[in-house]
């Protein structure tokens, strides 16, 4: 508006036979340049706002479902994952079976001690105190009662059965554990990376990394105005490494521990449902606390990764323009910029470690509280 008025005034003076003065021309040029600079600033602000909106949209993206993470797997890799799931299930069942053998051998030691010292009156008193109906029973009747109540066989046969059982179960668990770890990691490596014909461990070109780069190169030019691409190197390394960990061995470990939990819970209800209910009274508090801590850990890990990505983008930017930085003596300034993002990342890491420590302490406190609760409940049961 101001520039238009200035031009009209200059034209009016020219029509009247007066030439515009140099000062007036300078004013016109200055006003025009100010308006152009203002437009450029507005455009830059709009781009910044678009970038912020793009980051917010990127942060607001919904999480990918679990099974969608395996959509890049080939048929061979899917069969490998099925074999890994089956092996992790079998490895998980081995642990409760081992607990049953330990319980049987413990009973064998206890009841063998009772049978070998049965002639002691003190032991008679202890047995009668536990079983009031045996007050008028003879020694032979007490022995028959113990054998019938506990179903104990020969002591040495129990020890041999325990040794053979633990050896077989341990061997099966070792083989199944190797199968599920190897197959899961092999399948994850195949999805995130590519294996050469000679050695599958060799291969620097990764399948998903190549797809990620190809996807970026196919974007329209306007996409780069609303998205930050300087952190490509850190993103393609850290994010895909975490994806590889998440779809590999950890899937088998999750199935392994869940199988142990479910099978042990069933075993506990079969052998002593009353004490099992006492133990389960702690589970709601343990589950709620673990869920809250896992949520906080996830958010802090996301913040930490973003800060490291920003620091990586700064380093990449400076290295790509190192001559300009050195020419203007901006090395110290760029180092300060890089350190500033590392400080934020370190704070997020410290908070995450603190939350992890508190969560682990609370979890083990509740776990070690259970035996005390059982010992308190047992005399009254």
Asked which of 67-81, 87-101, 110-124 is least confident by mean pLDDT, the reply is 110-124
Q: DSSP character for 65?
A: P
The confidence score (pLDDT) of residue 144 equals: 65
- Under CATH, which architecture does the 74-274 domain have? Up-down Bundle (1.20)
Asked if 92 contacts 263 with a C-beta cutoff of 8 angstroms, the reply is yes
Assess whether pLDDT exceeds 80 at residue 122: no
Please choose, from the candidates 323, 301, 83, the residue with its C-alpha nearest in 3D space to the C-alpha of residue 184.
83
For residue 265, count other CB atoms closer than 10 A to its CB: 15
pLDDT-derived band at 198, boundaries 50, 70, 90: very low
Name residues whose C-beta falls within 8 Å of residue 142's C-beta, 6 or more positions apart in sequence.
118, 124, 127, 134
Assess whether pLDDT exceeds 50 at residue 133: yes
* Token pair recorded at residue 372: 């005390």
* Token pair recorded at residue 182: 């190897």
The pTM score is: 0.58
- Segments of the chain assigned E as strands: none
The confidence score (pLDDT) of residue 229 equals: 60
pLDDT-derived band at 281, boundaries 50, 70, 90: confident
Distance CA 81, CA 184 (A): 6
Distance CA 196, CA 201 (A): 8
Please report, to the nearest 10 degrees, the dihedral formed by the alpha carbons of residues 114, 116, 119, 125 taken in order.
Answer: -10
Q: Which residue has the higher pLDDT, 85 or 131?
A: 85
The confidence score (pLDDT) of residue 174 equals: 94
The confidence score (pLDDT) of residue 39 equals: 45
Assess whether pLDDT exceeds 80 at residue 352: yes
* Token pair recorded at residue 253: 């470990």
Asked if 85 contacts 249 with a C-beta cutoff of 8 angstroms, the reply is no
Mean pLDDT in residue range 117-122: 52
* Token pair recorded at residue 44: 């830059």
Measured in residues, the chain has a length of: 381
Q: DSSP character for 117?
A: T
Please choose, from the candidates 60, 51, 61, 97, the residue with its C-alpha nearest in 3D space to the C-alpha of residue 224.
51
The confidence score (pLDDT) of residue 266 equals: 93
| 17 φψ region: left (φ > 0), alpha (ψ -120 to 50), beta (else) | left
Name residues whose C-beta falls within 8 Å of residue 174's C-beta, 6 or more positions apart in sequence.
none
Assess whether pLDDT exceeds 50 at residue 200: no
pLDDT-derived band at 282, boundaries 50, 70, 90: confident
Assess whether pLDDT exceeds 60 at residue 218: yes
Count H helices and E strands in the chain, helices first: 13, 0
pLDDT-derived band at 192, boundaries 50, 70, 90: low
């Amino acid at each position: 508006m101001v520039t238009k008025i200035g031009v009209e005034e200059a034209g009016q003076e020219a029509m009247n036979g007066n030439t515009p003065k140099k000062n007036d021309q300078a004013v016109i040029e200055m006003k025009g340049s100010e308006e152009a600079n203002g437009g450029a600033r507005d455009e830059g602000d709009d781009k910044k706002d678009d970038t912020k909106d793009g980051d917010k949209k990127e942060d607001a993206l919904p999480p990918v479902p679990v099974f969608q993470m395996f959509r890049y797997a080939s048929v061979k890799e899917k069969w490998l994952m099925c074999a890994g799931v089956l092996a992790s299930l079998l490895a998980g069942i081995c642990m409760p079976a081992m607990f049953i053998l330990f319980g049987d051998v413990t009973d064998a030691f206890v009841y063998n001690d009772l049978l070998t010292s049965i002639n002691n009156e003190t032991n008679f008193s202890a047995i009668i105190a536990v079983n009031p109906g045996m007050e008028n029973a003879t020694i032979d009747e007490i022995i028959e009662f113990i054998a019938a109540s506990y179903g104990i066989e020969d002591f040495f046969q129990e020890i041999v059965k325990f040794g053979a059982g633990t050896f077989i179960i341990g061997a099966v668990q070792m083989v199944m554990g190797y199968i599920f770890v190897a197959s899961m990691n092999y399948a994850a490596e195949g999805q995130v990376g590519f294996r050469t014909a000679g050695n599958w461990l060799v291969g620097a070109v990764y399948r998903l990394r190549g797809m990620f780069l190809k996807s970026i190169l196919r974007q329209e030019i306007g996409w780069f105005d609303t998205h930050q691409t300087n952190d490509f190197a850190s993103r393609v390394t850290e994010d895909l490494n975490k994806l590889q960990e998440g779809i590999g061995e950890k899937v088998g470990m999750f199935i392994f521990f869940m199988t142990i939990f479910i099978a042990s819970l069933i075993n506990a209800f079969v052998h002593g449902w009353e004490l099992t209910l006492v133990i389960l009274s702690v589970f709601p508090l343990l589950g709620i606390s673990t869920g809250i801590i896992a949520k906080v850990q996830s958010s802090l890990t996301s913040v930490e990764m973003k800060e490291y990505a920003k620091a990586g983008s700064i380093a990449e930017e400076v290295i790509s323009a190192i001559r300009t930085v050195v020419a203007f003596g901006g090395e110290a300034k760029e180092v300060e910029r890089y350190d500033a993002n590392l400080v934020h990342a370190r704070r997020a890491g410290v908070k995450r470690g603190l939350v992890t420590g508190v969560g682990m302490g609370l979890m083990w406190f509740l776990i070690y509280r259970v035996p005390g609760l059982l010992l308190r409940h047992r005399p009254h049961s």
